[in-house]
Homo-oligomer: A and B are copies of this chain.
Amino acid sequence: MSSEDRKLDVLRAIVEDFVSTNDPVGSKALSERHNLGVSPATIRNDMAALEEEGYIAQPHTSAGRVPTDKGYRLFVDRLSAAKPLSAPERRAIQSFLEGAGDLDDVLRRTVRVLAQLTRQMAVVQYPTLTRSAVRHLEVVDVGPRRLMLVLITDTGRVEQRVLELSVAVTDDDVTELRRMLNSHLQGRRLADAHIALLDLPHIVAPALRPVMTTIVAGLVEALVEKPEERVMTGGTANLTRSVLDFPNSLHPVLEALEEQVVLLRLIGEVDSSTVLVRIGGENPHEGLHRTSVVSVGYGAGDTALGGLGVVGPTRMDYAGNMSAVRAVARYVGQMLAGS
């Protein structure tokens, strides 16, 4: 083994020890707990080199070393072996998700099982509207000159919106609107629905034209132009598991994680099915510079319907969390495909 290889072994050992103990790790402890085949003195030389290159750091002079963000990054990219879930864990995921009912229920169970497996805070995005298809669009008369549109997608998502009309409509009008909308939109992806929508006012009965125009405008705005992305979180309490992880108080962390927008940026920017890891300062949000995020897209087939992941201290079990996140995403994909 070259000395370069051993240096990486040392880094791996440091990360593993630090993750499990939360104590800065010194050369002596290292040579005892891992059989690296060299003396502490040699390890010290390697550590000095690693520190020089920015992979580890000393909290203070007479302390052991702690991995830096850069060190974790190298560990994740090159040093950590995939860590397959145990059979009981797989069974737990499966049985937990199997009893689910509607979409909300599926996602609720998803965050729960993910938080339990990883002992971190879990986040899951609702299937994005743009890549979903219309299963049904319901038009309901609610009060004078107000219509409620209820969209049901093929992933089971239900979105509603109330429109104010300038004229009153009869029950027959509503039925006709519903019929037209559904016959033109059903089965269509929302991303492709734009053109079909804009046609509708022209082919509807003249009397209904203004109403249809309003409906189309509402739909285009709510579903095509700025489709509402949503997320669900769970296991927030896990962030408080160790007080030591967020010494400056976790107030800013919790504050950041309450914002849907922030969460979406964290887990919603997945375009493939490879697990994405963001470590400490790599995170876009200021308050999350001491946290890491492990996320992946889930989907039925090849298109990613949304993202899910976990958020925790940079000192986390990356290999385990990556496996858990990947496995849960696969099961969720199956669930949504089968419904």
Contact = CB atoms under 8 A, between A and B. Distances in A.
Given A136-B140, A140-B135, A152-B150, A241 B251 contact: yes
Nearest to A255: B237
Nearest to A138: B138
A102 B143 CA distance: 14
Contacts of A306: none
Contact of A240 (B142, B156, B234, B250): B250
Nearest to A257: B237
Contact of A237 (B101, B102, B135, B254): B254
Nearest to A136: B140
A94 to B, nearest CB: 20
Contacts of A138: 136, 138, 140, 150
B162 A102 contact: yes
Contacts of A249: 240, 243
Main secondary structure of the interface of A (DSSP, over half): mixed
A234 B257 CA distance: 11
A28 interface: no
Interface in A152-172: 152, 156, 158, 160-162
A241 B255 CA distance: 10
Contacts of A237: 251, 254-255, 258
Contact of A234 (B150, B156, B235, B258): B258
A148 interface: yes
A236 interface: yes
Interface in A210-238: 234-237
Contacts of A161: 101-102
Nearest to A141: B136
Contacts of A162: 101-102, 156, 339
A241 to B, nearest CB: 7
A237 B259 CA distance: 11
Contacts of A150: 138, 150, 152, 158
A236 B258 contact: yes
A162 B152 CA distance: 12
Interface of A: 101-103, 135-136, 138, 140, 142-143, 148, 150, 152, 156, 158, 160-162, 234-237, 240-241, 243, 249-251, 254-255, 258, 339
7 residue pairs, one from A and one from B, having the closest CB atoms: A237-B254, A237-B255, A136-B140, A240-B251, A138-B138, A102-B160, A158-B160
Given A101-B161, A236-B254, A240-B251, 4 more contacts: A138-B140, A148-B152, A235-B258, A236-B258
18 contacts: A102-B160, A102-B161, A103-B160, A136-B142, A138-B150, A140-B152, A142-B152, A148-B152, A148-B156, A150-B150, A150-B158, A162-B339, A236-B236, A237-B255, A237-B258, A240-B249, A240-B254, A243-B249
